[in-house]
Structure 1
Amino acid sequence: MSPQLGALLHRSLRVYQVWGANTEVGKTVFSTILCKLTSGYKPDEKTAFLKPVSTGPAEEADGRHISKFIPGLDSQTLYQFDLPVSPHLAAQVSQQNTPSDEEVLCKIHGFASRLASTHPGWLFVETAGGVHSPGPSGTTQADLYRPLRLPAILIGDAKLGGISSTISAFESLKIRGYDVELVLLFEDKTYQNHSYLTPYFQQKHSIPVQTVPLPPPRLSPSNDVSNMQTYYTTALSLPSLSAIPSRLSSLHQARIARLQSMPETASKTIWYPFTQHQQLTPDKITVIESAKDSHFDTFQSGSPSKSLLRPMFDGSASWWTQGLGHGNPALSLAAAYAAGRYGHVMFAEAVHEPALALAEMLITGMGNKRLKRVFYSDNGSTGVEVGVKMALGAARARYGWAGEEKVGVIGLKGSYHGDTIGAMDCSEPGVFNEKVEWYEGKGAWLGSPGVRCEKGVWVVEGGGEFKTLGDVFDVEGREKRGEGRGYEKEIRGVLEKLVGEEGKKFGALILEPVVLGAGGMHLVDPLFQRTLVKVVRQSPELFGRKHQPNDELDWSGLPVVFDEVFTGIYRLGRFSAASFLGVDPDISVHAKLLTGGLLPLSVTLASESVFRSFLSDDKSDALLHGHSYTAHAVGCQVALESLKTMMKMEKSGEWGWAISCQQKSDDQTQHASSEQVAAIADSRVWSVWSHELVEWLSWQKGVEGVWALGTVLAIHMGSAGGVVGVGYKSTAAKGLQAALLKASEDDGSVHSRVLGNVLYLMAGQTTTEESVRRVERLVKQGLEDGT
């Protein structure tokens, strides 16, 4: 497997990528001018030229043109295809093997690294055709070269229609995160495009524009060489061009200087979340220069042959949000579209297409017959507060409680629903709220049995052993075998004591289905949560009075709120984590993966019976909750694109490699079509993390237990060597975290987060199998090295 590749940035080598607004705009002429200008910039530096992909006869290749007019220049073409057509077509009909995107990028990396170590100076990388001309694999160049994130020089189009094509090319690069640092174009006296584009870029975008006269028309080969030599001599004498090397060099140095200074400046300026600043020194701050797919590009000083930007796997999926890859062009385009169409528009008693379409898609996708209404908010914590307000309001209306009566929620020990005060009050006292003056834990929290793989066996705390995690999640089969009776008796006894003996009132049951996230990545026995919901719904007399539901979709006992902010939207392999339990909540909260990791947005879905509880002629009976940015059109549009993409991935079986690997002993999965794999995934538990890794981890010294589900891997470390034991304040997982952060030559490094003694890792929904296996090797290496 090839080593991880990140963005290119060398201290000793200034690398610029030359893009064309269209074909035949003069990229090679301008590349020649740039190479000539920089060749004499400093006597101890050299200039090189690289054409990754070229089509057409070799004798007419761009690299030959430059070598002809700059003898001795280090010039190379990586892939030359003879047919003068788009590279993807030329590659198809050639006798060569079509190079993958990764192979192209790897060769560019290798060429630049060699120059950086042996020939400090300049490198100009010229693209083929226009910004969106396809590469050999068919990926458009704007996306193909994005992982390199090279600063761009855009060659404008001086021909008729060139104003539009130049601006369109610029916007395509901008949307993908390229920094366009210079625009060059010819002066055509007929069309005068430069007279419009110069103020457009300089005044609107602060990007300098430099122009040169049109080159002479092509005549005979002998005259062409002579005429072009004269042309280049004349062009290089233009005062406006002489400043280009100095400007580009200054930008390069400023970029590095800024990256170097950021940790120190940040440590004096930023107040970080979940961070004890007493222990935070600048060297511990990770500088993320950019991000692509499942990786950050982080700034690290290194040897001259190494890029200053190193790839680092985003092991927390950027706090559980990243799903479709950083810098996803489809999501960026969706955001740009909605920003251009709407910006932000107020939402009270109004509607716009992204919000309505997203609401319809969510209601359909959830597969929950109860959920009919969608309420928008800004983030998961506030989404939970909305859900609790809904539940408490519905319970108050049904049971006729006075406003001054104290009403709490029923939840689970170790659960945590967010950092706003209202959501915080829905969790038991703990490290997140113990020093918050306004915290008042309003509820009762039940203990719940955990599930972990220990020494190759799946163990349910206090509930026996299972061969596979799938057996644990066979909740209906286990229920039929009577395995839930003990849970039912225990739960009913606790509730009767709380209500009957202690006189407490409750207005909601709130659960994180399947996994308690921030509380320590606690995988809960799904049969326990299923039983808890059933007991609450079957015991309305415990909470107020016996009530005959209007229909099967009416809530009973207490409104059931599922906090799926972390576990929902395919994080665990399914659209909704509720499906693992086989029960439908009355209220469901979603955020994080909702927008694929691009924008903050939250939704709280509710049943019609909960909604009806707020209907009245009195305005004060309404759900008086809202945000200025409620149903932000940009967020809704991005969420639509995100959900469409993930639902399509599920339907087409794009996670088949993970499902097949997890169930490789099952012939049904091994030989299934993509549609069959999708159907199997809907009824099975599976993970992108290999069964072999989970098995291996479960036997390791210092590992108390491990589990993997969907894209999540959680390693529960034990106490050893004087480290603090379990819990959020534990340091037991710090050693493994440090080992993952240490870069490997071939596999890169991993940025991870720990929850006390638990180190967890997450992939995105588009993370490749190869990337996952790289991380698995680093995990094994970290533990084998004694961390």
Structure 2
Amino acid sequence: MAGYYERVARGTDVAGLLEEMTAKNEARIERLEAMSGRAHETIWYPFTQHHGMAPKDITVIDSAYDDFFQTYKPAEPSQEGGLRATFDGSASWWTQGLGHGNPDLALSAAYAAGRYGHVMFPGNIHEPALTLAETLLQTVGNPRLQKVFYSDNGSTGMEVAIKMGLRAACDRYGWDASQEQISILGLKGSYHGDTIGVMDCSEPSTYNKKVEWYRGRGYWFDYPQVQMSQGVWKVQIPENLRSALGPDLEYSSLDAVFDLETRVASEVGQRYQEYIRETIAELVQQQGMKFGSLIMEPVILGAGGMLFCDPLFQRCLAEVVRGHPELFAPGATAGAAAGSSWSGLPIIFDEVFTGLYRLGQRSSASFLGVDADIAVNAKLLTGGLVPLCTTLASNEVFQAFSSPHKSDALLHGHSYTAHAVGCQVAVDSLRTMKQLERSGAWDKYRRDWQPAALPSAPRARPEVWSVWSHGLVGQLSQAPAVEGLFALGTVLSIALKDTQGGGYTSTAAQGLQQRLAAGGEHFAVHSRVLGNVLYLMASVTSTPEALREIEEVLRAALLVE
């Protein structure tokens, strides 16, 4: 071997090669140093107020692999610049599931790009789209869902879902939406995207109230929320609902909060259902409102501020809607609620954020024990590599669009519908995540979250667990600056106390965000805030070592010695 390398050294201009590599690296560093300034001049960022923004506020990402960005920080007089590993603590807006630069998903994309490129979808089929549709229907475990409609992102997928739900309701009840307003039922703080139609499905908020065409067509229930505070899991009842729903509740574990079969039969469950039924009756009978769908983000309302809705309230809302169709149309009778026929209103679950293992289960709807009539998935669908969205629907909803007239069809689509690259990547992403589940890759996290006393009988409900350690949640709940927090699946959400009341415009979480950006021993942490809430999100392949280092930074920042 020594002789081989000696011959190569004599026959190769090693010095010239090193000089060329050095020159290319210097040119690369020069580009990195200039990028934030160039971006400041040319880029209009989403969800960003540019007033007062400077190039120094823009993070330059040189590359990304696994859970980490390689971020570049220019040299300053008092600080050395250069590249640093930075944990992607927002999972790149909740998309990352299998890590950046995943070689297997990159090969899947390359295969589909080389075999298909993009091919027109209407009236055609290719194997990636067909395989994904069949795989997804099997994965989510909802027997109602039989049809798959493709779109490009969560917002457009929800536009499709709304069109489906409203058409099905109007078709059954003989309503003409061109002559009267058909609204939706939802929850306060909900968010389903930024396209005009789905904006109207959310209450007035920072996101939409200054959009010129926003109208807000619906009624949005206030609801109890779950968090740990001072070491105790609490269901906190809004002040304005306590006369109807009763006082705050405390539970021994998060698992107990999700014991819905016990809770739904309790006095609390009865109060929830009575309040919901009376509210809907007043809206319809006294105010003359008509509703075409119930839309919910199961368990956690993401963009609204990581709002953890009491799952019992969502369960009761679905049961009242399905069990009392006469609330929405005189003379209507309850359908086969456990079968494929929708009753009362079509139920739409927006699982764009919460679905496909983000909360530790294949479907976040499984926590509620409710099968939706329409469900939307995106983000983790492709493991975080390329945009793709699916809207799943029951055959009954599908049939509402069937007639001899093309004008009655679902006339919705986009040029890259069911693009083969995205579909193939999604197929392999789902297979990988399911294999991780089967192989016990998350068993250590599950054991950490197991209640002290487990029932001897097999569990009838989904297991509640998180990649964030159970002990961390308990410790941080005692921190003076923490109002409350929760962890579920890959999500950790920390609400900081704010004397001004919190909300999206709060700055209470910025100090913690800056502390995370400073990082720990081996890496910095990129994070996002929603007002007074700082959240962190892992991928489903994050290592325990990386997560525990982040936890130590959180302890150092929030716990007083």
- The TM-score normalised by the length of structure 1 is 0.67
Deviations 1:463-504 (A, max 9, x none): 410010000000011123333101011101110111000001
**Equivalent position SS for 1:483:** helix
**Equivalent position SS for 2:171:** helix
The question of whether the paired residues in 2 share the 8 Å contact of 1:408 and 1:507 is answered with yes
Q: CA deviation at 1:686?
A: 0.4
The question of whether the paired residues in 1 share the 8 Å contact of 2:227 and 2:235 is answered with yes
Q: 1:649 to 1:233 in 2, by over 3 A?
A: closer
Distance in 1 of aligned mates of 2:451 and 2:235: 24
Q: CA deviation at 1:265?
A: 0.6
Letter in 2 for 1:735: G
Deviations 1:26-72 (A, max 9, x none): xxxxxxxxxxxxxxxxxxxxxxxxxxxxxxxxxx4x5x865xx5xxx
Q: Which residue is equivalent to 1:357?
A: 131
Q: Which residue is equivalent to 2:242?
A: none
1:377 aligns with 2:156: no
Letter in 1 for 2:556: Q
Distance in 1 of aligned mates of 2:57 and 2:15: 42
**Equivalent position SS for 2:84:** strand
1:640 aligns with 2:419: no
Distance in 2 of aligned mates of 1:585 and 1:516: 17
1:323 aligns with 2:92: no
1:776 aligns with 2:531: no
Letter in 2 for 1:275: T
The question of whether the paired residues in 2 share the 8 Å contact of 1:454 and 1:699 is answered with yes
1:366 paired residue among 131, 136, 140 = 140
- Map 1:266-345; keep pairs closer than 5 Å: 266-301=39-74, 308-345=82-119
Moved more, 302-311 or 405-414: 302-311
Q: Which residue is equivalent to 1:258?
A: 31
Q: Which residue is equivalent to 2:206?
A: 431
Q: Which residue is equivalent to 1:401?
A: 175
Q: Which residue is equivalent to 2:240?
A: none
Distance in 1 of aligned mates of 2:474 and 2:560: 18
1:748 paired residue among 523, 529, 540 = 523
Q: CA deviation at 1:784?
A: 4.0
2:324 paired residue among 523, 535, 539 = 539
> 1 or 2 for the larger relative contact order (CA 8 Å, sep ≥6)?
2
Q: Which residue is equivalent to 2:269?
A: 484
Distance in 2 of aligned mates of 1:490 and 1:446: 10
Distance in 2 of aligned mates of 1:641 and 1:593: 12
Q: CA deviation at 1:750?
A: 0.6
Q: Which residue is equivalent to 2:189?
A: 414
**Equivalent position SS for 2:70:** strand
Query: What is the root-mean-square deviation of aligned Cα atoms in Å?
Result: 2.3
Q: Which residue is equivalent to 1:651?
A: 438
- The TM-score normalised by the length of structure 2 is 0.93
Deviations 1:262-314 (A, max 9, x none): 01111111101111111321111111111111111101246999882111111
**Equivalent position SS for 1:625:** coil
Letter in 2 for 1:277: H
Q: Which residue is equivalent to 1:730?
A: 506
The question of whether the paired residues in 2 share the 8 Å contact of 1:574 and 1:682 is answered with no
Q: CA deviation at 1:246?
A: 4.5
The question of whether the paired residues in 1 share the 8 Å contact of 2:334 and 2:344 is answered with no
Distance in 2 of aligned mates of 1:302 and 1:714: 33
Q: Which residue is equivalent to 2:310?
A: 525
Q: Which residue is equivalent to 1:712?
A: 491
Distance in 1 of aligned mates of 2:393 and 2:387: 20
Q: 1:415 to 1:738 in 2, by over 3 A?
A: same
1:474 aligns with 2:259: yes
Q: 1:610 to 1:235 in 2, by over 3 A?
A: closer
Distance in 2 of aligned mates of 1:312 and 1:687: 22
The question of whether the paired residues in 2 share the 8 Å contact of 1:725 and 1:732 is answered with no
Q: 1:616 to 1:465 in 2, by over 3 A?
A: same
Letter in 2 for 1:603: T
The question of whether the paired residues in 1 share the 8 Å contact of 2:152 and 2:389 is answered with yes
Letter in 1 for 2:32: L
Q: Which residue is equivalent to 1:35?
A: none
Deviations 1:441-472 (A, max 9, x none): 01110101100001011110134100100000
Letter in 1 for 2:305: G
Distance in 2 of aligned mates of 1:523 and 1:559: 23
Q: Which residue is equivalent to 1:149?
A: none
The question of whether the paired residues in 1 share the 8 Å contact of 2:367 and 2:461 is answered with no
Letter in 2 for 1:266: A
Q: Which residue is equivalent to 2:399?
A: 612
Q: CA deviation at 1:243?
A: 5.6
Q: 1:681 to 1:306 in 2, by over 3 A?
A: farther
Distance in 2 of aligned mates of 1:772 and 1:254: 35
Q: Which residue is equivalent to 1:698?
A: 477
Distance in 1 of aligned mates of 2:325 and 2:461: 33
1:689 paired residue among 457, 468, 487 = 468
**Equivalent position SS for 1:484:** helix
The question of whether the paired residues in 2 share the 8 Å contact of 1:711 and 1:764 is answered with yes
2:166 paired residue among 374, 392, 399 = 392
Deviations 1:238-261 (A, max 9, x none): xxx886455333211110000000
**Equivalent position SS for 2:555:** helix
> Among the aligned pairs, what percent are the same residue?
54
Distance in 2 of aligned mates of 1:663 and 1:248: 53
Q: CA deviation at 1:325?
A: 0.7
Q: 1:535 to 1:369 in 2, by over 3 A?
A: same
5+ residue gaps, structure 1, are: 1-59, 70-227, 670-675
Q: CA deviation at 1:549?
A: 3.2
1:512 paired residue among 297, 300, 304 = 297
**Equivalent position SS for 1:685:** coil
When Rg is computed on C-alpha atoms for both structures, the one with the higher figure is 1
1:452 aligns with 2:227: yes
The question of whether the paired residues in 2 share the 8 Å contact of 1:747 and 1:775 is answered with no
